[in-house]
Amino acid sequence: MRLTEAMPVSDLMIGNATVTPLMSTLEAALDATANPPAPSPVERFRPVDWTTWLLWVTVAAAGPILSTIAATALQVELPRDDPQRLWTVNSILAVLAVTLLAPPLLQGFVLKRIALRFSIGFWFACVVFSVIIWFVLTQTYIGLVSIVDAPMRAQNQFAQALLRERFAAPLSWSSIAALPWGPLLLWTLAISAATSLLPAWAIGNATGRRGDTLMFFAAALIAACAATVADQTYAVYGYPRPFGNQWALNNMPWPERFQLLATRSGAGAVWGATSAFVVVLFTRRLAAANTRLLATNRPAGLAAMLAALVGIAILAPFAGYLAGPQGVRAGAPAFRKALTVAPDKDTSTDDAVLTYSHNIELALARYAAIAIAPDSHTVIVRSAEHKLTRIDLATGRAIAPIADALAPLERHAVVWSPDGRFVALRSNGDQVAIPNSRYSRNQSRLRIYALPDFTLAGEFINREGYCFDSYSREPMLFAPDGNSIWLTCAQHTTPKSDDLMALRLSLPSLQVLDTRRYGNTAASGELRGLERVGDSIWGWQFPSAGAEPLRIRDLANDREVLALTMPAGLIGNLTAQGVTEINDKTVKLVFCGVLSNDPKAAELPFDRNASLCRTLTFDSKTGSLLDQNDRADVRFATPSATLTGHGLRVESTWQQNSKAGETLVRDAATGKERQRIVSVSQRPLALSPDSHWLVMLDIDRNALRIYRVTP
């Protein structure tokens, strides 16, 4: 063979082997380096492990915190004459840049751990475009209503329903489940779908697996619902919300800020943990089979992940409570109370004046209001179903309701006639729209039931002038002769001269006998209560602010008893708490706060230790000052309640950090202690007219306890 002759490489022999296979392998390697093959879908997706789960939940929890900081920075007030205004503006812009850009970027870095071809830049663009979609939705109107207004209305509807349930009766699982969750969750799904589709597509496109976009989209929807449920559950149990549910924290005390941030981060962590759980649940078959027992793809790992989700939902608000105003700084009384055990039975010393007898066998509305009959055999209470029910006082057993169920937030009043012939029920009548506003109020409805069979004997619904439901201490009162009843009339604004003050109605027909109007006393405000004094009925007006005097009016004789100008030197900037006693001899008024005559005192920090309550006693005929008594502010003292009657003074005290309480029985005239009882936390409500029974409220269980009285 001549050297100048071309020789195919494939013909070159080395021993007995050719180099053809070797060269083929080399050529294939070079080709693979120049044009690498696309990875399979499995190779482009890495299952979620515990490290990725923890990072994702942490980023999700940080999102609401960062967005809250951004909203707070946006609402910082900048004085125009501030020399550091430019520096402050630049600082706010820097805070906004960090808090708004950090969440999607941090999410992108975590997602890159599971999607190997994931592009953070493309992800960020999808998130920004989703924000633009949200902004467009906020500016899209159907008629005069923005599309985004609908979910806000659903949230407000939920909040109002929750408020009604909370004030109407103690919350239970059934009452919480009955809240309008449906509209709230439907709108949560709608908004989440509009803002999650593009980010889900960005992840699915990076993994190269069919259906991944739908999987991540479904995870976002389910997580949004879970976070909404968690956030609203925090609201159910009373965690704070800024005024108007705004996102910023400006002008809030720091403990409340910490508590709110903790609950918001908890809802964010629930979103992150839920979305991660859904992804792990759908991709568990992609993980290696020979993994540890608690690996995320194993049943034990999924159970641990679900338990962690529940733990986050519970521990986040608990951490917020510890950081809040009633947390570690205040000794966490609610937490300490939860760890205490209520006494099984009373422990009594000294005389056996009070002896526990039995409980009333009825679930009560949240705020117990009772009315004991003059014969001391029957008591009327409001049940958890808002039915006014007659109870046998001696046995605690329900007899029958006296009327149809009230609305959950409907106020009512029950009064027995002194002669035992009638019982009067005031409730809500016709609803009247208040002019030039979106609010309405209810006219007063009065019903008279004749005893002993409680038949409806008369009904009154005012349709001649406004006589709205009243917030007065005694909205109605039987006249001393038992032949008529007085009804107070509230107004929706400050009373005017021609507005109704009170009506006297005949019994049992409830025909209008007398009409009292405010006249020139209207500036002193609405009637605050009624009192039977001798053979007459007195009503009083107690202005909450301003220079108007306290006015006492004899309604039966249509005359003014007293116009008492408030002594500014004795009151200063104290806040009026109301009238504690009115009779034919004295009038007692209470004022509380930090005493100061400095006009700028309201701008100073509140000093709880310096706060006091001042009781001023005046002559009810001349208005002259008879007595002044100062004591520690009862609003910040140990919770207590006192009931006086039949020669006894029953004083109950309890602690916010314990289920136990103490009751002292004293002689009303001398103050000598006659009995000391340690029992559940309770407060006295009423003594029966025959002085045989005392009704106490079990505060923690919201139950009525009946004591037998041995004077």
Q: Which of 426, 389, 390 is nearest to 411 (CA)?
A: 426
Average predicted confidence (pLDDT) for the chain:
85
Which pLDDT band, with edges at 50, 70 and 90, does 147 fall under? Answer: low
Q: What is the pLDDT of residue 172?
A: 75
How many angstroms separate the CA atoms of 378 and 688, rounded? 9
H/E run at residue 358: strand 354-359
**pLDDT tier, 288 (very low <50, low <70, confident <90, very high otherwise):** confident
At position 182, the amino acid (one-letter code) is: G
Name residue 276's amino acid: A
Is 626 within 8 Å of 608 (Cβ atoms)?
no
pLDDT of residue 245: 60
Residue 13 has pLDDT above 80, yes or no: no
CA separation for the pair 413, 684 (Å, rounded)? 19
HEC secondary structure over 401-467: ECCCCCCCCCCCEEEECCCCCEEEEEEEEEEEECCCCCCEEEEEEEEEEECCCCEEEEEEECCCCCC
Give the per-residue pLDDT at 393: 95
702 vs 45 pLDDT, higher one:
702
Q: Are 112 and 120 in contact (CB under 8 A)?
A: yes
Q: What is the pLDDT of residue 108?
A: 93
Percent of the chain with pLDDT over 90: 53
Average the pLDDT over 285-303 and give the result.
84
Q: Is the pLDDT of residue 572 over 90?
A: no
Average pLDDT of 538-556?
86
pLDDT tens, residue by residue, 306-320: 999 999 999 999 999
Choose from 24-38, 217-231, 239-253 the range with maximum mean pLDDT: 217-231
pLDDT at 117: 85
User: So what's the pLDDT on residue 15?
Assistant: 38
26 has a pLDDT exceeding 50: no
- Neighbouring residues of 410: CB distance < 8 A, sequence distance ≥ 6: 386, 427, 428
Identify which of 538, 525, 542 has the alpha carbon closest to the alpha carbon of residue 577: 542
pLDDT(598) > 70: no
Rounded to two decimals, what is the model's pTM?
Answer: 0.79
Residues 6+ apart with CB under 8 A from 26: none
Q: What is the pLDDT of residue 493?
A: 78
Higher pLDDT, 395 or 711: 395
Question: Which phi and psi angles does 526 have, rounded to 5°?
Answer: -70, 165
Q: Quote the pLDDT of residue 205.
A: 86
Residue 527 and residue 484: Cα distance in Å, rounded? 19
Contact 294, 304 (CB under 8 A): yes
Looking at residues 479-502, what average pLDDT do you find?
A: 90
| Predicted local distance difference test score (pLDDT) of residue 544 | 66
Residue 243, pLDDT above cutoff 70: no
- Tell me how far apart the alpha carbons of residues 453 and 463 are, in angstroms, rounded to a whole number: 29
> What is the average per-residue pLDDT within 68-75?
91
CA distance 668 to 616: 21
User: What domains can you pick out in the chain, each with its CATH number?
Assistant: 41-78+86-329 (no CATH), 410-565 (2.130.10.10), 569-635 (no CATH)
- Give the residue-averaged pLDDT of 83-90: 85
DSSP state of 40: P
Report cis status (omega within 30 of 0) of the bond before 452: yes
pLDDT tens, position by position, 636-668: 778 889 999 999 999 999 998 999 999 999 999
Specify the pLDDT at position 25.
45
Q: Which residues contact 54 (CB under 8 A, 6 or more apart)?
A: none
Q: Check residue 11 and give its pLDDT.
A: 38
